[in-house]
A and B are shown apart, each in its own frame.
Chain A
């Protein structure tokens, strides 16, 4: 089955191709005419244009008895304006671990300028390449090109020789600058099988493959002098992808991750075979999760009888139902542990260490939570997912490297609760919106698939306002508001950060001027399972005039359209589906009559009724009642719905600004 899937994907990649296209790209000679170009049709506003970006990866035998790969790149960029100078500053990340390494070789960087009609070439000095130790296993090679001026062309060539065969160098067909030609060639010998994953919307101009035979030499050093040498020939497939005239990638707001839409291809080692010993690196989903369950640095520790947990867990499970016990364990981990890193799937330290230091990565904290729940005999399973900002996972394709986050599920009385104890204010059974990014997999025997979609998150906010006019003409109101669950998270974080006093001060500012606020109160601030409720009384000073205008929603109206740009290229991905309602009850001031009320209206977002806005206002004797609601049943919208969405919010903003007009009785 697995092979079939891989094959399907390959076919898709090739189907775009015109096999006849054997067009070869050559970096043209840099002449004064080339340097004089100011504008390229691909993007007339561009500050820099990549004239050619050509890369290749080839797998070769090494002297350590195995294989390495050589990645070669040649990139040439025309810098047209100062805003494009960033293209001349580069950092190449290299990994070095014990026994394996990556090396940067044959780096050449040259700047071409036009001076007095002549092409002048300046080469970068080798001693201007700096090495920065960025992390334990990561080194950055940093350099910048000399003599970069408006109109110059920079040309960079280098090669990376790497022992990390699992993930070959990926290729970005799209970036911050437009590209005239972006080409990548991958040569894979028959004894390795790689999975190819591509994404983005740029069609390939060429997608081609061809076969040839090649010789491989492996040397294994045996002690000081002796060495074994193995040579053999094998079939090699050359894959070639070309994208032409690629526009710059422009990120947009309300996109969960721009990496989902920028054109890109990456590779993951799937298997090795004859003449090497057969080994499967990517299996089915159940194979993958079973491997994790048996991994010393992951699931294996969870199933051991972890008696070292007893001191901590026993007091938490001394009484109550399984539900009570689970909640206590969850709250204990959430409230006492510090999350030190948002990423990483595996344990970098023993669980026991995490319990001792009270700190760990997201997955370490949630794996510890799972082990504590299991210790209390509550069925618990870790779940792996990719956060929204990390990008989508490939649903057809079991690829561990796409996942970056672990949460835990607890099953109590047949119901599954999803838990993330790494977030300081998250309630029992709630996950951060970041976790809602489509497919997730339970780490169990069957790799149970789950679908966490933001469309399923309903962010309900309810506000009621009671308003009367006092004898001096001022409006006196009582406000009650139950915030949405995720807004509650924000309020909790704000109050933690700035304090309640500042929170209410900011709220007061949201009204505009001449407001006094009393009886401020917030409920459920520390009851993280529930949304917070905000209460206060307010008084808006207003002089008694012959005509009084009042905007009945005060500071609560939607005053800005969240969708600023007129155009949209990618989908709108909101963190949840909105459902906001307001109820206003207002008494007509004594001695006044209503001169004008806004008109009631109800509008559907589309025929399917996946969104609606209503504004219902009525008067009965001296009481005016207003109910207004904005409600969507989903959080994701396609680019072709954008214009309607923007218009819809324009209408909401405009309607919620409308005023009630009172006139003095004659």
Chain B
């Protein structure tokens, strides 16, 4: 009997320990973390240990409370890995709102997928995914895993509030490294130094954050990195597949690239011969660059194959010469080799490519891997010539919205050197449009619209006329002019290549029911193709206002009206002059023609949040003015 009792007690105790533990009850979330949140990071701990320059171990533990359906994507564990990074020790558990444990992770339900990028033919990216598939909100998922990496090339950063609609109850980042190992870091919205301890030859730094509410990125916002708490790291010495480097300075960081690229620029003899032929009799180096660049464009295309160190080291130039393809590094290196054969020095250049303002953002005082792309810079006595080697169509010397207006790292023989790519502003980014149309009896408008797009304003169209078939272009034109019903009767595009490129567009369009006819009246909206689409709502604003792109657009519209009508209502001219931009539109009757003229300039700059009311008023005034209409009445 006695024995039985003990046994029973033992069983009870075991059950209690398993099922009775309460963890992450939703009631323990401070009220300030709930507004706007779909998910709360209850625990978000990262421990990153640099064991040696070629070995790191990262341990992550997270517990996220999912508040509603929109937070569901955070309920999944998603771990990316590749040839140099191995995932291990995945574990997890599911808790209900009260904090009772409902389930634990089943190893055999972890899914594993190939994650070859859209732009790649082949790489070694893979991903592991786990999901409890639970939907009784709110609930909490807890995950742990470790990742062992064979390189210190980049150290993951810390950004507790990593996106909108997410709040943080507790987040910690612990960096452990040998005492002798120097680590650079840069913190935003974290004024204090990390808590630092030293023990047994290891130095441990800890950053913590608690109770950070959600943050919403408003219109025209500065970069997210500056707006929330974050810390970014750079290794001192690092290794990758036997190659060593240092990112103590930009110069050092560039040396690593320089060494990876070294001796990969040998061309086969027939190519050297080809270079000679192409440049024979040309004395101007600029002209030589253009000829060789065009040769490269005609004979190669972009194909990305990145395996292991191949994500940083280019194919050999001879490989590209033979196969006619490569990724950004391989093609830049190939172009560099062609120029070298012509006796023209050039520099491989690391850049963070992308069209958005955030892609242009760089932490300049933290030399580290902040790049995703490579271009080529050809230094010239006056201005350098910049070459985008993955494009078969870009003009030599033009960078555009993907690589222009930003800091890049030149890889020189002495190491890295931070410089700026060309800037395109108000004078370059111009759209100039002239529309001439005639109204028919049924209110349809037959018009010719001729538009010249320059610099960044032509990027999208230039890309499309080169990449799309004529049928696809027509399909696109049929979709996107923002008119209620129309037919594109004819269209042509002419590209004028140059350091500041231009595209000339000629459209012949019938706009069906352009004018609204109600009895004796005719309603006409003279702004046909250049209506500003942005409406803003005046809201409380706490962060600065930042405009990153400058452009200018000029429109002239002439509409020949039907005889027998006179003006009943003509919109008054609208003139707006602000620090953010300027706008002017006027409409007049000249004999039987309605003449509409519009000019708009957008400026760049950073303004205090208190000016937001003005910004809203400015945008909304444009929105309204662009939709002004003329009312005509039968005489």
Contact = CB atoms under 8 A, between A and B. Distances in A.
Interface of A: 45-47, 81-85, 89, 111, 122, 128, 130, 132-135, 142-144, 146-150, 250, 335-338, 340, 357-359, 424, 496-497, 505, 508-509, 512-514, 547, 549, 559-561, 564-566, 596-599, 646, 649-650, 653-654, 657-659, 661
A596 B69 contact: no
Given A149-B324, A547-B569, A564-B478, A336 B469 contact: no
A513 B487 contact: no
Given A84-B469, A130-B122, A496-B68, 15 more contacts: A45-B471, A82-B301, A122-B322, A122-B323, A148-B324, A150-B298, A337-B133, A338-B135, A358-B133, A496-B70, A513-B620, A513-B627, A596-B520, A597-B519, A659-B521
A82 B518 contact: no
Given A547-B568, A658-B516, A130 B305 contact: yes
Contact of B114 (A133, A148, A338, A549): A133
Contacts of B517: 658
Interface in B458-495: 466-472, 475, 478-479, 484-485, 487
A229 B481 CA distance: 70
Contact of B116 (A132, A338, A508, A559): A132
Given A513-B535, A598-B518, A146 B323 contact: yes
A82 B466 contact: yes
Contacts of B69: 424, 496
A364 B468 CA distance: 42
Nearest to A649: B485
B131 A560 contact: no
Contacts of A596: 518-521
8 contacts: A45-B470, A82-B392, A89-B303, A135-B113, A148-B301, A338-B133, A358-B133, A598-B518
Nearest to B488: A566
Interface residues of B, number: 57
B513 interface: yes
A146 B114 contact: no
A560 B298 contact: no
B487 A566 contact: yes
B115 to A, nearest CB: 10
Contact of A336 (B121, B136, B305, B513): B136
A559 B324 CA distance: 49
Interface string B101-120: 00000000100011010000
B618 to A, nearest CB: 13
What are the 4 tightest A-B residue pairs by CB atom distance, in nearest-first order?
A359-B133, A654-B513, A147-B324, A561-B485
B604 interface: no
A596 B523 CA distance: 13
B33 interface: no
Contacts of B298: 149-150
Nearest to A560: B484
A657 B466 CA distance: 38
Contacts of A514: 624
B519 A599 contact: yes
A144 B325 contact: yes
Contacts of A133: 114
B623 interface: yes
B631 interface: yes
B25 to A, nearest CB: 21
A358 B537 CA distance: 42
Nearest to A354: B133
B471 A250 contact: yes
A653 B518 contact: no
A357 B484 contact: no
B614 to A, nearest CB: 16
A134 B484 contact: no
Nearest to B516: A657
Residue of B466, B475, B518 ringed by the most chain A CB atoms within 10 A: B518
A659 B467 contact: no
A146 B624 contact: no
Interface string B2-33: 00000000000000000000000000000000
Contacts of B631: 547, 549
A509 B70 CA distance: 23
| SS class, residues of chain B in contact with chain A | mixed
Contacts of A134: 114
A47 B469 contact: yes
Interface string B491-513: 00000000000000000000011
Contacts of A598: 518-519
Given A45-B469, A596-B518, A82 B627 contact: no
Nearest to B466: A82
Given A130-B121, A338-B133, A564 B469 contact: no
Contacts, number: 142
A142 B122 contact: yes
A510 to B, nearest CB: 10
A549 B469 contact: no
A367 B134 CA distance: 19
A541 B556 CA distance: 30
B325 A654 contact: no
B299 interface: yes
A597 B519 CA distance: 8
B395 interface: no
B315 to A, nearest CB: 11
A114 to B, nearest CB: 12
A122 B443 CA distance: 59
A48 to B, nearest CB: 9
B135 A146 contact: no
Nearest to A336: B135
Residue of B121, B136, B393 ringed by the most chain A CB atoms within 10 A: B121
A421 B122 CA distance: 39
A178 B117 CA distance: 29
Contacts of A658: 516-518
Nearest to A130: B122
A122 B523 CA distance: 64
Nearest to B165: A499
Nearest to B481: A564
A335 to B, nearest CB: 7
B121 A89 contact: yes
A358 B299 CA distance: 55
Interface in B356-415: 392-393
Contacts of B523: 549, 657, 659
Contacts of A560: 484-485
A150 B393 CA distance: 12
Contacts of A549: 523, 569, 631
B123 to A, nearest CB: 9
A461 B624 CA distance: 29
Contacts of B469: 45-47, 81, 83-84
Interface string B72-101: 000000000000000000000000000000
A650 B510 CA distance: 13
A125 to B, nearest CB: 8
A514 B81 CA distance: 51
Residue of A357, A565, A599, A654 ringed by the most chain B CB atoms within 10 A: A654
Nearest to A646: B485
Contacts of B466: 82-83
Nearest to A150: B298
Contacts of B322: 122, 146
A144 B569 CA distance: 63
B516 A659 contact: yes
Nearest to B443: A654
Nearest to A248: B471
Contact of A144 (B109, B113, B303, B484): B303
Contacts of A496: 68-70
A340 B116 CA distance: 22
Contacts of A497: 70
A73 B598 CA distance: 59
Contacts of A512: 623-624, 627
A357 B516 contact: no
Contacts of A597: 519
Nearest to A496: B69
